[in-house]
Structure 1
Amino acid sequence: MPAAPTRCAGRLRERDRLRWRVGDPGDPAALLAELLAAHGLPVGELTRLGARPARHDPGTVCGAAVFVSAAAGARLVGAPTGAASPAPAVPDLVAVVYEHARDGSGPPPPPAPFSGGPRDAAVGEGDAPGTGAAAAGWRLGDWVESWSPAAHAAAVERARAAIGRGDVYQVNVVGHASARYAGDPLPALARLAALPGARYGGVLSGPGWAVGCASPETLVEVSAGRVRTRPIKGTRPATAAGRRELLASPKERAEHVMIVDLARNDLARLARTGSVRVDELYGIRRWCDLWQAESTVSAVLDDGMGLPELLRAVCPGGSVTGAPKLAALEQIAALEPVGRGASMGALGWIGPDHLDLGLTIRTAAADAERLHLWAGGGITWGSDPHAEVAEAAAKAAPLRARLAGNAVTPPG
């Protein structure tokens, strides 16, 4: 369970759940807030998060694992939801409310994700057995791209043309690939949590589907009356030369600062006047064998801000849309022939004392027959189409290796 309290690992059991798909009735943010509030979580007034010490007594609610797809995020802001998901079995909104198990009862085992079991479950790193390459019966076929490198490069050129016309300043372009598998995909997806830099590592699963995350990026965090986001934009190989190049690149820095400004604007919709600040600008972090540039933007939450307002302000994440956000989402819907599915959304934890949602980059999903994986990058006028295709492949490579059970380069 990404961002769940570590002290409660192995002590939680499901109390309630919510599933929603684009096309279902109702407003997803309101439905989510209604469910969580019914279980005593202070999502109607987020400044109350942490106002009282969290209780971990048997039978009390610990919090909820929450997933919001990119399509649901687009729906929240009135933007096009894009092409259909290649993994429609994965809902667009999932919330699983967990309580502390009573003494002696223990949590039930998580349901097998493809057994037709009755409920969703979340597991974290180490919860799934058989994490080695020789997991019994596990076989992963060849990856099949939804578009060729040439088609990907052509989409980048079309994005550059839109920028040249002044339709948008920056737009994120994402590609998709899938592979057939045999065996239980849950252990393979759980392996992603061990990737170096996977701040939001974990698996959320339900009947006929599962999502595995290895994301390093904070979409939004709320604690003690303050809201934070940590956008990532800018990538180079994790070598000494790659670090120097990322630090010195005017193109990468301009692209990054543009998204930081977008993050500042997003948080300003939630903040007390004058409280938005950039705590860190263009810090260099490592994820697997890549350097990435990350900033931290924070603000003091204004009174009256609830979960629906928060989600509408930050979803979909600016680092995977572009700027301006609504114009970029229109471009994405026109450029990408395959939906973003489980990627580029949000996955994390909402508890009585904190809210922490990661952006679902570096994320894979399983349906009954295939594993699905997405990767892309931000396009500016200075982007080179072939370099963008190569960058997307570099981001996907560690996930492909880990899903197959192969080793991944450790941090140096």
Structure 2
Amino acid sequence: MVRGKSAERMSHNHPDVVEALPRTVVDPLPLDPPAAPTPCRGHRVERARWQWRPTDGGDPATAVQDFLAAHGLPLHDLARPTRPHHRDDPVCGAALYVSAAAGALLAGGDPGAANPADLPEVAVVVYGHTDTPTTPTPTPTGTWWRGPWTESWTPAAHADAVRAVRTAIGHGDVYQVNVVGHAAAPYRGDPRPALARLGRLPGARYGGVLTGNGWAIGCASPETLVEVRAGTLTTRPIKGTRPATAAGRADLLTSAKERAEHIMIVDLERNDLARVARTGSVRVDDLFAVRRWCDLWQAESTVRADAADGLGLADLLRAVCPGGSVTGAPKLAALHHIAALEPVGRGAGMGALGWVGPDHLDLGLTIRTAATDRHRVHVWAGGGITWDSDPDAEVAEAAAKTAPVRAALDPTRPGRPTAGTTDR
């Protein structure tokens, strides 16, 4: 298990809570970025945008912090929010996206294979507020068509990757590694309505859409990578999945394998926060709470800490990206194995996407996420591998996680793929 200077207290205020996430309200303006505040939804106007790809060079974390500061969002000391947001402010906040590959680079790890989608690795979009509605609900036009999925690896190759991780664990190289598969499909038409449907899935705490020139990301994530409010840092790692049945819930709660895997990642997240927190302030407020996302039960914990004085956005991103629940422990060693095993990059999956405001920050981990470039729609899914992992069960779990995402991306009007195409 990962241990470090975070010998901070672990308080189990509400262990083994069984709770479904609140019913997701169907947002009448679902093209807003994830975690955008209610007053800004549907009333945003873009003020400025910055994007980064590895060929651009430089340090994207510092560049994001500098760019936001230059546009009225100074985030050089998250322990002291600059001001509460007011409706008349010229800037209401910004959407921030950081890919898994960019996060790996920030952490000093291997970024892995190339991004299979043509989209930036980092994007920040600054918005102002307007009283005029700006993002009406997209409606299907009948032109959306999605072709058959092409998998980046077969179930057998996925199972082999699980076995390779178990071998690495047996050698003492790692304790846990998250392995992720990818699939892509051709499409025609406007992808935004389909991505908006994805963002409205039940339990999508970070439901929303971010678009750019020739690309879009749709997110239905339930997982908090990092939230900062009033100087408090919060992360909510999710690890452990079962079908949303009574038997599945009981199995998840009693599984020694899932609990050990979960606590290992909680310990990793405690260490990540301890790097940027006030000494002695890291605590676990909920441990192994079982919550629902679509047709799955998932185990979630809540880890909090007080931000260290002078903690800026750039250092926070370096500490928490990429998320521990989608990498493994130790994180850098896990990234090395991920890069060696996964045939394509993670693209928009397993990164960070959310909102940065003058008084808070809220980034979701981009699990249950899809992305489109000009020609294809992309999805990712995987799971954490430990010594006790069963390869076939891990393949099945990844399929269960991606099924609701793929279903949300199905055409809802004429123009489906012709009979005989596969769609798994």
With structure 2 as the length reference, what TM-score do the two structures score?
Answer: 0.88
Output the CA distance in 2 between the equivalents of 1:52 and 1:100.
16
Matched, 1:29 2:56: no
Matched, 1:90 2:119: yes
Matched, 1:55 2:64: no
Counterpart of 1:31 in structure 2: which amino acid?
A
Deviation at residue 405 of structure 1 after TM alignment: 4.5
Matched, 1:376 2:385: no
| Alignment partner, residue 395 of structure 1 | 401
Output the CA distance in 1 between the equivalents of 2:316 and 2:294.
30
Output the CA distance in 2 between the equivalents of 1:108 and 1:382.
50
Deviation at residue 190 of structure 1 after TM alignment: 1.1
Deviation at residue 368 of structure 1 after TM alignment: 1.1
Maintained 8 Å contact 2:43/2:134: no
Matched, 1:306 2:326: no
Maintained 8 Å contact 1:80/1:329: yes
Structure 1 gap segments, 5+ residues each: 110-126, 407-412
| Alignment partner, residue 235 of structure 1 | 241
1:280-359 equivalences in 2 (<5 Å) = 280-359=286-365
Report SS of the residue matched to 2:364: strand
2:185 to 179, 183, 208: 179
1:4-403 equivalences in 2 (<5 Å) = 4-49=36-81, 52-57=83-88, 60-87=90-117, 89-101=118-130, 106=132, 127-131=136-140, 135-403=141-409
Report SS of the residue matched to 1:334: helix
Output the CA distance in 2 between the equivalents of 1:351 and 1:308.
15
Maintained 8 Å contact 2:79/2:306: no
Report SS of the residue matched to 1:48: coil
Maintained 8 Å contact 1:13/1:107: no
Output the CA distance in 1 between the equivalents of 2:266 and 2:104.
20
Q: Deviations over 1:244-270 (max 9, x none)?
A: 000000000000000000000000011
Deviation at residue 108 of structure 1 after TM alignment: 5.4
Report SS of the residue matched to 2:92: strand
Maintained 8 Å contact 1:64/1:95: yes
Output the CA distance in 1 between the equivalents of 2:84 and 2:121.
32
Maintained 8 Å contact 1:128/1:186: no
Deviation at residue 20 of structure 1 after TM alignment: 0.1
Deviation at residue 180 of structure 1 after TM alignment: 1.0
Maintained 8 Å contact 2:144/2:411: no
Deviation at residue 52 of structure 1 after TM alignment: 2.6
Counterpart of 1:66 in structure 2: which amino acid?
L
Structure 2 gap segments, 5+ residues each: 1-32, 413-424
Report SS of the residue matched to 1:227: strand
Counterpart of 2:122 in structure 1: which amino acid?
L
Output the CA distance in 2 between the equivalents of 1:17 and 1:140.
29
Q: Deviations over 1:99-151 (max 9, x none)?
A: 112x6xx3656xxxxxxxxxxxxxxxxx44225xxx41111111111110000
Maintained 8 Å contact 2:146/2:411: no
Maintained 8 Å contact 1:171/1:323: yes
Counterpart of 1:36 in structure 2: which amino acid?
L
Maintained 8 Å contact 1:22/1:71: no
Deviation at residue 8 of structure 1 after TM alignment: 1.9
Output the CA distance in 2 between the equivalents of 1:264 and 1:108.
40
Counterpart of 1:27 in structure 2: which amino acid?
D
Report SS of the residue matched to 1:46: coil
Counterpart of 1:298 in structure 2: which amino acid?
R
Output the CA distance in 1 between the equivalents of 2:291 and 2:54.
35
Q: Deviations over 1:369-395 (max 9, x none)?
A: 111000000000000000000000000
Counterpart of 1:74 in structure 2: which amino acid?
A
Q: Deviations over 1:167-198 (max 9, x none)?
A: 10000000000111111111111111110100
Maintained 8 Å contact 1:42/1:48: no
Structure 1 runs of 4+ aligned residues shifted over 4 Å read none
Seen in structure 2, the aligned counterparts of structure 1 residues 405 and 286 have a Cα distance that, compared at 3 Å, is farther
Report SS of the residue matched to 2:62: helix
Output the CA distance in 2 between the equivalents of 1:191 and 1:108.
19
Q: Deviations over 1:313-338 (max 9, x none)?
A: 10000000000000000000001011
Deviation at residue 98 of structure 1 after TM alignment: 0.3
Deviation at residue 10 of structure 1 after TM alignment: 1.9
CA RMSD of aligned residues (A): 1.2
